[in-house]
Structure 1
Amino acid sequence: MTTRHLIDPELLVGLEMFPARSFSLETLPMIRREMLEMGDVLPPHDASLAALVVHRIGAIEVRVFTPHGGEEDTLHPALLHLHGGGYVVGAARSQDAAHASLAAELGCVIASVEYRLAPETPHPGPVEDAYAGLKFLFEEARSLGVDRTRIAVGGESAGGGLAAALALLARDRDEVPIVFQHLIYPMLDDRTGTLGEPHPFAGEFVWTPEFNRFGWASLLGHEPGLPTTSPYAAPARAADLSRLPPAFISVGALDLFIDEDVEYARRLVRAGVPTELHVFPGAFHGFDMVPTSRTSAVARNRSRAALRRALHPR
């Protein structure tokens, strides 16, 4: 059975943006090269919108975008961003243009972490890289022009899952306060596609159960679904979601992650965490990247509005 008939007609063109791939240890180097090449043809970031400074923090790189304008000693709110890619592909630099534009639009600093990828770097490497980027942003806040009392974390897909894990880790270590978690179709639960009844209408396109198992196995270093999985790898495994920062979660109804994202939002609400959830009908994983779709435009607008409210509270 296919779910193509359930896709928002304006999003159908988006399926051409995501060519069919087969993830394996053998194909992974080729897929990474293809994605980097795609990123290389994107327009460079507009330096008139935001200044970019690249910082080296141990084994990782943090790309910091600072909006132009304001007094020299102005302190801006900040978003620590983590890119998607199933933990196995993707690069922070591929989103330079988008980050420069968003920094200017929202009047915030954006710090994008080039965390190490699995399977070469399994858990806890990626979340520790993210935490190192967060501590750098907090400890060097003054020199970076950042208001350390207004730091949010966010990301898409695996980056959204990593941001949720980072929020848990920051809460438990109690060193860096986070004011908001911005989770766009986050990858939260290694049990999806391996345990329980599969969703009859989700996960056919873009990111499939097969891809998901490969991504989680690469991150965890073992097959997904085992009871020993750490909540700092798969945030849905956390028993206690209390005392986390307010959350924004957005996901498509045809996304493989629909059930885990809705359940995580439900549990956050039950734990007393202010949570905003948006589910978009007819939308598959990554749908908001389709530039001509009205549904994508609505999703992007709601996402940015939530960030603006969190970073610039009245």
Structure 2
Amino acid sequence: MPIIVPPGLDPELVRVAELQPDLDYGRPQESRDALRRAYRISRALRGRNAPDDGLEVTDREIPARAGSPDIPVRIYARSGSEGPVPALLFFHGGGFVTGNLDTEDDRCREYARRTGVTVISVDYRLAPEHPFPCAFEDCYDALVWVAGHAAELGIDGERMAVGGTSAGGALTAAVTLASRDLGGPPVVYQMLLYPVIDHAMTSRSMKEFEATPGWHARNNVHMWRHYLGTDAPEKVSPYAAPAEAGDLTGLPPAYLMTIEFDPLRDEGLDFGRRLLAAGVSVQVHHLPGTFHGFDAAAPQSVVGRRALDEQCAVLARATGVKAE
């Protein structure tokens, strides 16, 4: 089934939507290779190699739990910052199957440049080679490591936020839940950007959007099969599918962004309603006329710039800094 540009899409996004590759997540390596090619082309067209943005950007590996490989991370810190400053752990999207430290490099740079918050992007292990709980463990272990090395990193361990896009949104919710459940490092804020939430795939938007640009229901089926395994039990851990969490009380405030033409839309909105019902302070922003990942695909569009402006503003407000 070919990708269909939905009627009602923001006019500025139509051409971008038409150019979105229809990746087949049933073939993980082919999807990874296609995304890498698309990323290289995008960077070349924008002429972005080593932007002069006043940041110190460091790639390093941090230790994981016993028996697991070290975790690659990329740290974005404003040059000359007088610490301690707040931190944001960020988890990229890619359906648990694709993505790396380059996937959200532009977004992480903008967060760090415009807020002064130190951003730590986590290159977690990918399915199907590394199914759940590998990605979750990497992300939670990164939170623990950052908290334990706050002084070395020049950050304030009492002002740590977590955030992520799509599958990274699921990992954000999972890490936040685990921090509460396990008595882990405190998380002061969670940013859930068009997040993966529910493995049941029974929502109206999941049934309706089988050929939307950016992400569609067919790939969602492949995603969960790769992440949970083909013999996954009907009841799964809330650290895999946050919709399975029965108790959402005691979680930190949240910002949740959902997208109109996105199969993940309704599960995200439902999670936002559940957070509100549990007494969690949550800002839900539903963006009409957009497709999944529009802000990464068209960052210079009016709606893309507005979305980034809002994310920087809520991150700054949540961590007590002033955004540019």
| TM-score, normalised via structure 1 length | 0.91
1:1-314 equivalences in 2 (<5 Å): 4-24=6-26, 27-41=27-41, 42=43, 43-46=48-51, 48-58=53-63, 59=69, 60-71=71-82, 74-192=83-201, 195=202, 201-202=208-209, 204-205=211-212, 206-222=214-230, 227-289=234-296, 290-312=298-320
Deviations 1:74-120 (A, max 9, x none): 21100000000000001113433442332121101100111000011
Structure 1: state its 5+ residue gaps.
Answer: none
The Cα RMSD (Å) is 2.1
Instruction: State TM-score, norm by structure 2.
Output: 0.88
**Deviation for aligned residue 1:264:** 0.2
Q: CA deviation at 1:48?
A: 4.9
Q: How many residues align?
A: 307
Say if 1:203 and 1:284, in contact at 8 Å, map to a contact too: no
Task: Output the amino acid matched with 2:240.
Answer: A
Shift of 1:223: 6.3
Distance (whole Å) between structure 2 residues aligned to residue 172 and residue 47 of structure 1: 41
Post-superposition offset of 1:293: 2.8
Three-state SS of the structure 1 residue aligned to 2:283 is strand
Indicate conservation of the 8 Å contact 1:241/1:267, yes or no: yes
In the TM superposition, what is the alpha-carbon distance from 1:212 to its structure 2 partner?
0.2
Gaps of 5+ in 2: 64-68
Measure, in 1, the Cα distance between the counterparts of 2:168 and 2:19.
Answer: 20
Q: How many Å separate the matches in 2 of 1:3 and 1:35?
A: 20
SS at match of 1:102: helix
Note if contact 2:206-2:217 (Cα within 8 Å) is conserved in structure 1. no
Shift of 1:196: 5.9
> 1:151, 1:180 within 8 Å by CA — same for their partners in 2?
yes
Q: Identity across aligned pairs (percent)? A: 36
**4+ runs deviating over 6 angstroms:** none
